[in-house]
Structure 1
C-alpha cells in the first residue's frame, strides 16, 4: 500500500504547452527537499486540446493526472485535484509558473512549525518571469502592466536592460471590493513583506486540508478569478490565519493563459468582484463595489463587457446571498473584524 504523502501539489492545466512542462519539471526537482512525508504531484487537465498533459505524463515521473472532460475553470479544476489528492497540506501552483529551489519546503514550513497550528494558508513570493522598464510616452491604454500608483511598465527583450518586478506577496481587498496583489510591480529586492496578510494567491499557496474540510473548497461557480479571495474570507471568518513565506518563490508568466485586456478577463474579473463582495463583505463594501462598476459602465470604454458582467452577477446574486448566510451560520469571527484587513482603493 502506498503511504499517504505529507503534501500534495495540484497544478491545473488548460493548454499549458511548454510552460506546463517547465512548471512540472521544476516541481519534480524540488520535491526531494520538501521535508518529511514526501510529496505527490497531481496534474488536473481541464480538457486541453494541445496535448500538453500527455507530454507531461511521459516526461515527469510519478505524475498523477486527473483528466476532466470539459473545462469548468480553475476553481473546479483545483477542487478536483484537492479531492483526488491525499496530503495533509495542498500546494497550488499555476501551470505558467516555475518554482525556485526550496519552494516547497519554504511554503510548508509555517504550517509545520510549532505554533503554526492556526495557519490555514501560506502564500508565497511571486516574481514576474520577464524583465520590464517604464512605459515610454504614447504607450496605449491596454499595453503593458499598470501599478497601483498608475505607473505603467512594458516587457523588454531577453537581451535588453530591465527590472525584475514582483507579481504578488499575497492578496489584498480594497474597500470597494477590488482584489489585488500585494506588492504588485514592486522591485524584486524589496524588503520582505509583512508575514500576516489578508489573503493567499491561488497560484502560489499552501492550504491546510483540515481548514478546507471546515470551510469548504474554492467556489467553483466563479470559474476563474477571485476564488482565492472568497476562500480567504471564509478562512478568516472561521478564525484561521493566512501568512506569507518570503522564501517560497515562483516565477510567473503573468496572464499567459488569459490576457488582462481580453473580454474573458474583464467580464469574469468584474462579475466575480461583485459576487465575492456580495457573498462575503460588509454591505458598505458591496455598495461601493456596485457604484464602482456603474461608474465604469458610464465612463467606458468597454461598456458592453461591463454590462455583460453586471448581468451575469445579477443572475448569480441569489446563490451569492445563500453563501453569505451559510458563512454567517458557521463563522466565529465577525465580518466587521475581517474587514479590518481591507485597504484603501
Structure 2
C-alpha cells in the first residue's frame, strides 16, 4: 500500500536562515508519508533549501497568499501532485516525526473537512495565544472539533478542494487570507477540523511586529466581507468588527494606521469581486461556532 503524498510549501525572504534550517530539519524527519517540498523565494532566490526540494524565485514580493499559490502551482506543474498540501511557515517546526502522518490520518477520519489544523504552540509545547486557536471560544486550546477559520502558516489542505476554490486570494497580500479561504471552502460544501492533540511549534511572535499590520488587517477585513457576505450581513459584520478593532487600537496602539486601513478598505471595496455566500453557508458557519457577523 502506497504512503500518502504531502506536498509542502515553504515561503521565505531569506530573513531567518538559522530558524529555517532548524524547521526544515524537522520537516525532513517526517515519517509515514512521502513528502515533496518547494521553497518559494518571495522577491529573492531561496538560500536555505532541503535536498531534492524544488525552488521558485519570484522577482518581487507578491505577498504571502501569492507566494504560497506560486509554490502550490510549481508542485502541480512538476507532475503527480500530492493529494495533500501543507503550508508551512519558515520558522515553524514539527515537534514529532509523525505530525504529517497523523494530520493525514485525521483528515481521512473527517472526509468532510477540506483542511485540518494542528494546535500551534510556542517552543514550550504548551503556550497557545488566543489568535492561534481557530474558533471563537479559545480558552481551551486543547479541545478539538469542527472549525470555520484557520491558522494559515501550519495547515493541511486537500489539494482538490484548494484548487477548486482558486487557492489563496492574492490581492489580500498579508492577513486574513485564512478567513477568506475558509469561507470559500465552506461555500463549496466543505468544513474544517481542528486536531488539537497534534502540535506544531512556532516562536511566540506578535503580528503587530510587521509595520503593515494595522493598515492591511483593517483593509482586508472590509475586503473579505465585501467579497463573501450577503448584503444583509455586511453592516452587522462590519459594525461589530469596527467596534472591536477600534477599541483594541485605542488600548494597544496603531489607531492611525487602523483608521487608514479602514478608509482604504471602504473606498476600494468595489474593486473586490463579490461572490456572496449562500444562507445555507451562513447557517453552517454558525453551526461550526463562527457566525459571519463577528
Q: Same fold (TM over 0.5)?
A: yes
Once the two structures are superposed, what CA deviation does each residue of 1:284-330 show, in whole Å capped at 9, x if it has no partner? Answer: 1123224445667788953321232123212430133x23xx254xx
Q: Is the 8 A contact 2:144 2:197 kept in 1?
A: no
Report the counterpart of residue 158 of structure 2 in structure 1: 208
TM-score normalised to structure 1 length: 0.71
Structure 1 residues 286 and 26, CA gap change in structure 2 (3 angstroms): same
Alpha-carbon distance between aligned partners in 2 of 1:217 and 1:327, rounded to the nearest angstrom: 17
Q: How far apart are 1:122 and its partner, in Å?
A: 0.3
Report the counterpart of residue 115 of structure 2 in structure 1: 121
Report the counterpart of residue 91 of structure 2 in structure 1: 96
Report the counterpart of residue 21 of structure 2 in structure 1: 21
Q: Is the 8 A contact 2:144 2:196 kept in 1?
A: no
Q: Is the 8 A contact 1:169 1:244 kept in 2?
A: no
Of residues 276, 280, 292, the one that matches 1:333 is 280
Alpha-carbon distance between aligned partners in 2 of 1:4 and 1:81, rounded to the nearest angstrom: 22
Alpha-carbon distance between aligned partners in 1 of 2:251 and 2:106, rounded to the nearest angstrom: 45
Q: How far apart are 1:42 and its partner, in Å?
A: 1.2
Once the two structures are superposed, what CA deviation does each residue of 1:127-179 show, in whole Å capped at 9, x if it has no partner? Answer: 11259xxxxxxxxxxxxxxxxxxxxxxxxxxxxxxxx4124664236xxxxxx
Report the counterpart of residue 146 of structure 2 in structure 1: 196
Q: How does 1:1-345 map to 2 (within 5 A)?
A: 6-14=5-13, 15-30=15-30, 32-34=31-33, 38-48=34-44, 53-54=46-47, 56-57=48-49, 60-85=50-75, 86-101=81-96, 102-113=98-109, 116-129=110-123, 164-167=126-129, 170-172=133-135, 183=138, 192-255=142-205, 259-281=207-229, 282-283=233-234, 284-293=236-245, 301-320=253-272, 322-323=273-274, 326-328=275-277, 333-340=280-287, 341-342=289-290
Alpha-carbon distance between aligned partners in 2 of 1:25 and 1:295, rounded to the nearest angstrom: 42
SS of alignment partner, residue 93 of structure 2: strand
Q: How far apart are 1:94 and its partner, in Å?
A: 0.9
SS of alignment partner, residue 166 of structure 1: coil
SS of alignment partner, residue 129 of structure 1: coil
Find the structure with the greater CA-based Rg: 1
TM-score normalised to structure 2 length: 0.83
Structure 1 residues 337 and 120, CA gap change in structure 2 (3 angstroms): closer
Q: How far apart are 1:269 and its partner, in Å?
A: 1.8
Q: How far apart are 1:5 and its partner, in Å?
A: 7.4
Can you give the 5+ residue segments of structure 2 that lack an aligned partner in the other structure?
76-80
Higher percent of residues as strand: 1
Structure 1 residues 277 and 22, CA gap change in structure 2 (3 angstroms): same
Alpha-carbon distance between aligned partners in 1 of 2:257 and 2:114, rounded to the nearest angstrom: 36
Can you give the 5+ residue segments of structure 1 that lack an aligned partner in the other structure?
132-163, 174-181
